[in-house]
Amino acid sequence: DADVTQTPRNRITKTGKRIMLECSQTKGHDRMYWYRQDPGLGLRLIYYSFDVKDINKGEISDGYSVSRQAQAKFSLSLESAIPNQTALYFCATSDPRGVTGELFFGEGSRLTVL
């Protein structure tokens, strides 16, 4: 089983719908991240959390919210999805005691907003 698990892996939804992407990890890492990847734009950070009580905005947080339910769980919500939120979303974890800059990514959640 994957150490960083994302659900759903694929989702098609309509404009205006609320969507939640979930991430759980068994690596025991305190730090968790949500990125989106778009063709030609690379990986961009949406939100990150260094522990359960710490939530921080990344470079493109508008239109998104997150919840850190436990050390192992970090969810990303789109309150009212719009077509330009169509992208591949990655959850990632890191260990501050480990290799600096090493992120462990989930398998990705492909979201299509019609």
Partner 1 sequence: QKEVEQNSGPLSVPEGAIASLNCTYSDRVSQSFFWYRQYSGKSPELIMSIYSNGDKEDGRFTAQLNKASQYVSLLIRDSQPSDSATYLCAVNRGSQGNLIFGKGTKLSVKP
Of residues 65-104, which lie at the interface with partner 1 (CB under 8 A)?
Answer: 90, 94, 96, 99-103
Q: Are strands 10-13 and 109-113 parallel, antiparallel or unpaired?
A: parallel
Contact 34, 89 (CB under 8 A): yes
CB nearer to partner 1: pick between 16 and 98: 98
51 binds partner 1 (CB under 8 A): no
In angstroms, the CA 99 to CA 114 distance is 40
CB nearer to partner 1: pick between 67 and 95: 95
- What does the binding site for partner 1 look like in residue numbers (CB under 8 A)? 33, 40-45, 48, 50, 56, 58, 90, 94, 96, 99-103, 105-108
